[in-house]
Structure 1
Amino acid sequence: MSNTYPSAPSAYEFPLLIKQLLNRAKTVSLNQEIVYADKKSLTYAELFTRINRLANVLAGLKLAAGNVVAVMDWDSHRYLEAYFAVPMSQYILQTVNIRLSPDKILYTINHAKPKVLLLNSEFAELVKNYQFENSSIEHIIWLDDNGVSVENVFGSNQPRVVGEYEALLATADSNFEFPDFDENTIATTFYTSGTTGDPKGVFFSHRQLVLHTLTEAASLGMLPDKQGVSYGDVYMPMTPMFHVHAWGFPFTATMTGLKQVYPGRYAPDTLLDLIINEKVSITHCVPTILQMVLKEAQSRNANFNGLKMIIGGSMLTEGLAKAAITQGIEVFTGYGMSETAPLISLTDFSIHEPEMTEAEDIARRCMTGKPVLMVDAQVWDENNKPVGTGKEHTGELVLRAPWLTQSYLKNEDAGAELWEHGYMHTQDIAYMCPDGTIKITDRLKDVIKSGGEWISSLEIETILSLHPAVADVAVIGIPDKQWGERPLALIVLKPNCQDTSADDIKAIAEQAASKGMIPKYGVPSEFKFVDELPKTSVGKHDKKVMREMYAEQNKA
């Protein structure tokens, strides 16, 4: 016997489709502004019209449901329009990571097999000699901000180019009726920026992205005004829109009707100009971008006046957090991965904050945070069993949430490994505090094993970052005949601190060891000063490259 109540014959079941995210803004935010750098300003009313026009342009290409539409663009209003028009038309949006090496970019295109490519003229050289006759790409839509024509790059013999984006939209119908369909339909795909092997494709359904958007809005809305989101905020991404849906914020900001600012290519002077001139109040980025913007602000003697900034991608060190707070940035941590769409945890704040010292507050902001709504986060041992809470109980962080990728595109074996025993395996080593705060101590592949003991590279980096001369730091394990591995600290000094010695830096690690903050064997055996640290395409420290570089140097 059924235990469900019957519905009226004409009741609307309301599938969780991306188009539903627009419902409120279409009613209350029509005059709100969207800004593209210094190039364009439009209202939400114009955005919705342009989404319809783009949908009509794509419909005119006679695509089939499930076809892939790839985008290669800087952060722009065009990208935002594609975030909606493509999946709402029952196609799959591929956000192409243009910071990968050219061969990896082409690998991701060949693997996803898009039918349409929205191509910014600045990236045309990357695909100029691409063997289109052997590819899935049937149509190219030209995007340009610099007066570069298709003929300038491809000559007059590129029949796949159907036209320039703005010209196509100008002649397209402004009305489009987006259909209902199964909410489990794939909406987006993109590729991990991992440092080993070929990038892996992850994918997300409409249902997953709607639930992620609602959770992100609710989780940030639960924070006090000083850190959270309100309707008066001005949002600008400083995480590329090709990377994990720019952490989901373009969907969230559009759903809630915030003023949005898109900076185009990331240049520190442009980012700071937009923050100041457009009164940006909330953003997110990796530590590398924060360092760039802080340096630019210092050169202008500028203050950020309470800019809310979520740091992800790499660990926020206490030294960097202190520098940001000193310059007026309300900085805190968010955690996630490409596979998690990405939001999993956030630093926890309350309207009734407990008394804490400055050092305690900074340390709290650099923790991985507490799980957001609907996330089941656990720490497992090597036998896939949950461990207790507290710093002495470390293991692998595993997850369940309704928006995690279900597998890898065309790689079911890797998907099965990702979801072994019914939880997503992050390969992050962590412990959980009794109050539910997560602290990631290392990546499984980055932890250092010295004399049979584990050393957390992230813990050592946090300690060294507190030295006032340190601008950036990475700690890696290098081969050692006696101990197996020993930690090597790679240090980038601040410009006015070039006379700092290795002993000066080492002293802060030895002081931490004497206080029991790190084990004595965790003090690096060697310190090297470098001009810069290798980074991945999304600005994370590339420790694989570092290990290869310095392992070879040690052999030599």
Structure 2
Amino acid sequence: MRDPNLVVTTPSAYAYPLLVKQLLTNAMSLYGDQQISYRGEMRHTYRDFHARLGRLAGALAALGVRHGSTVAVMDWDSHRYLESYFGVPMMGATLFTVNVRLSPQQILYTLNDAGADVVLVHPDFLPVLAQIHAGLVRPPRLVLMADGQDVPPGPLAFDGEYEAMLAAAPDGYDFPDFDERTKAATFYTTGTTGDPKGVCYSHRDIVLHTLTAATSLCAPREGQRMHREDVYMPITPMFHVMAWGMPYVAIMLGLRMVLPGRYVPAALLALREAEKVTFSHCVPTILQMLLQAAGEGQHDLRGWKMIIGGSALPPVLCEAALARGIDIFAGYGMSETGPIVALAQLPPGYVARSREEEISLRCATGRPVPLASFLVVGPDMREVPHDGKAQGEIVLRAPYLTQSYFGKPSASEDLWADGYLHTQDVAVRSPDGFVRIVDRLKDVIKTGGEWVSSIEIENLVTQVPGVQECAVIGVPDARWGERPMAYVVRHAGVEVDAQQIRAALLEHVVTQQLSKFAVPDSDRIAFVAAIPRTSVGKIDKKLLRERQAG
């Protein structure tokens, strides 16, 4: 029997499925003359962009791409990548953004696991593709994105060159309607064990994440916000969680977009000045590189709004960015969460009582975005008090979180235990709603009967003059169970030793900001030239543990 409370739908009504193509509706009707540029060398309008989407779909269809096919992309941040973000899923095919920073064997695994039918590849990645090509279970058809480069002869056979294929393709591809739950995008996240896991998002997921992110970013009257006069340049790779979903937000809002290609700090700064970029996002490592490349007063960075994510924003780095005029704030999410579920935007009417307080808020995990059920819970799944002290795991519900890992039902059930997505992030929540991550479950250090936050130690060590970067892990100890081990990178030409770092940390013990058990012993403060990082720029603590154990 039909539920009498359901809304009656007349047969002629349009159901309006939440498809990626709908993100273009307003942009094309109002902002057709808006500009998209690539490295400052290529420019076209939104209207040109839309026409190219149709020709891309036509060219892919000629290669046999159909509803349910998978099209992989290996490229830098380019107009071609942006076209793939829209054109591929709008056909009903799945876009697979290949993490080009993985090892060749991991790239091979992901291409086989995803079942790529076509690979669009930039010349820079041909050596890797040639190396693994023999291992592909079902060799895909290859399209070269020449990017103006001369490509020497090699073992790979191409079905065409991207621009030539678009030029030959017909105009006016008819993008159909289909179920909004159709898979739109796939990418792979690397964990501490096992093979990379495929994260999938439907059209519905992408559209709802776009709307939620835009609502949050456009809500503030001023500061930490995005508006239609902004000039947007991504500095998070387009292969990494769909560049945090931000290109979809920018296109939906009709922003002028600058695509930088490969990330070279000097080139990014030059583009920022020439194109008058006002909004970007990146990981802390990239921000550090930009500030170093900018030098003292050589580049005016005022008016640049920037979200920092991927890993915690160190207060010292936040202070350095603010001093250069960057309106900087943290964002939080994971590959499995769309990714944005919280933003560290200052509250309405906020007046800082101190510089330290403001920096603390900007570096926080943030406050939940609309539609996100964001809980900090104990082992019993009960929410811990919002007192800024009680610790628990962040668990989530939102209408755009990934529903499963591709082909991994057991891992998917672990992810969604008790009906909530488990982040493995340990956090506290304050009465004002701000959440602060204190550590990852696997990174918390148990020493002397106390739980110690590796992130807290890292932040305090980076405040020591002369310290550029720090990573802390727990190492086995016969007496205490575990002890913190700090890996420290010094600023170039600056001397700082283990005793100075210990002395600075012990000062925080006196003020009760830090437990005495959190202070590393002198022989467990190691100075290194660089800290290892994952393919997406996060500190690779797994590798640090392996090296320490080795």
- TM-score (normalizing by structure 2): 0.97
Aligned twin of 2:207: 210
Q: CA deviation at 1:288?
A: 0.4
Task: Tell me which residue corresponds to 1:515.
Answer: 511
**Residue-by-residue CA offset, 1:185-220 (whole Å, 9 max, x unaligned):** 110000003343211001000001000000011100
Moved over 6 A (4+): none
| More deviation, 382-391/78-87 | 382-391
- Among candidates 124, 135, 138, match of residue 137 of structure 2: 135
Partner of 2:99: 97
Q: Relative to structure 1, is the Cα distance of residues 33 and 329 closer, same or farther in structure 2, using a 3 angstrom cutoff?
A: same
Structure-2 residue corresponding to 1:524 = 520
Q: How far, CA to CA, are the matches of 1:134 and 1:193 in structure 2?
A: 20
Counterpart code for 1:383: D
Partner amino acid, structure 2, of 1:518: L
Structure 1 match to 2:465: 468
Structure 2 counterparts to residues 480-495 of structure 1, below 5 A:
480-495=477-492
Q: Look up the match of 2:298.
A: 301
TM-score of the aligned structures, taking structure 1 as reference length? 0.96
CA distance in 2, matches of 1:21, 1:81: 13
RMSD: 1.4
Instruction: State the shift of 1:145 in Å.
Output: 2.0
State the partner residue of 1:22: 24
Distance in 1 separating the partners of 2:134 and 2:498: 53
How many angstroms apart in 2 are the aligned matches of 1:89 and 1:82?
A: 11
For the pair 1:77 / 2:79, whether they are aligned, the reply is yes
Partner of 2:417: 420
Counterpart of 2:339, as a letter, is P
User: Structure 2: how far apart are the matches of 1:261 and 1:153?
Assistant: 33
- Give deviations 1:412-466, integer Å, cap 9, x for gaps: 0000010000000000111111121111100111111112211100011111122
Matched residues in 1 for 2:297 and 2:118: separation?
43
Match of 1:503 among 495, 499, 504: 499
The CA deviation at 1:507 is 2.1
User: Is the 1:71–1:117 Cα contact (8 Å) retained in structure 2?
Assistant: yes
Aligned to 1:58: 60
Q: What is the CA-CA distance between 1:148 and the residue it aligns to? A: 2.6
Contact 2:212 2:369 in 1 (8 A): yes
Any idea what the Cα deviations from partners look like across 1:245-293, whole Å, max 9, x if unmatched?
1000110001111011111111111111111111110111110000100
Provide the C-alpha distance between the structure 2 equivalents of 1:354 and 1:140, rounded to a whole number of angstroms.
56
Q: Does 2:543 match 1:541?
A: no
1:33 — aligned with what?
35
For each residue in 1:132-180, what CA deviation from the matched residue of structure 2 results, as whole angstroms up to 9, or x when unmatched?
585333311101224233x5233xxx55x21000000011112111100
Unaligned runs of 5+ in 2: none
Greater shift, 405-414 or 127-136, is seen at: 127-136
1:362-373 equivalences in 2 (<5 Å) = 362-373=359-370
Deviation string for 1:212-257 (max 9, x for gaps)?
0000111000123322001000111110000001000110001111
| Equivalent pair of 1:224/1:349 in contact (CA under 8 Å) | no
Structure 1 stretch displaced more, 421-430 or 458-467: 458-467
How many angstroms apart in 2 are the aligned matches of 1:551 and 1:514? 32
Q: Find the aligned partners of 2:222 and 2:184 in 1 and give their Cα distance.
A: 32
Instruction: Name the CA distance, whole Å, in 2 between partners of 1:145 and 1:18.
Output: 26
Deviation string, structure 1 residues 56-85 (Cα, Å, up to 9, x no partner): 011112233111110000000000000000
Name the SS for the 1:261 alignment partner: strand
- Matching residue within 378, 381, 404 for 1:381: 378
Asked if residue 219 in structure 1 is aligned to residue 221 in structure 2, the reply is: no
Q: Does 1:269 align with 2:266?
A: yes
Q: Partners of 2:192 and 2:163 in 1: how far apart?
A: 37
Aligned to 2:114: 112
Paired residue type of 2:520: P
Shift of 1:537: 0.4
Equivalent AA in structure 1 for residue 478 of structure 2: K
- CA, structure 1 residues 97+177, in 2 after alignment: closer, same or farther (shift >3 Å)? same
SS in 1 for 2:154: helix
Q: Return 5+ residue gaps in structure 1 as ranges.
A: none
Larger deviation, residues 385-394 vs 537-546: 385-394
| Matches of 1:202 and 1:26, distance apart in 2 | 30
User: Cα gap change, 1:484/1:5 in structure 2, threshold over 3 Å: closer, same or farther?
Assistant: closer
Amino acid across the alignment from 2:540: D
- With over 3 angstroms needed to count, the CA separation of the structure-2 counterparts of 1:398 and 1:186, relative to structure 1, is same
User: Which residue of the partner structure matches residue 12 of structure 1?
Assistant: 14
Q: Is the 8 A contact 2:428 2:436 kept in 1?
A: yes
CA distance in structure 2 between the partners assigned to 1:278 and 1:348 by the alignment:
26
Q: 2:393 is matched by which residue type in structure 1?
A: E
1:89 shift after superposition: 0.1
Instruction: Determine the structure 2 residue equivalent to 1:440.
Output: 437
**Given residue 331 of structure 1, which amino acid in structure 2 is its aligned partner?**
I
SS of 1:126's partner is helix
Q: Is the CA contact 2:352–2:358 (under 8 Å) kept in the aligned structure 1?
A: no
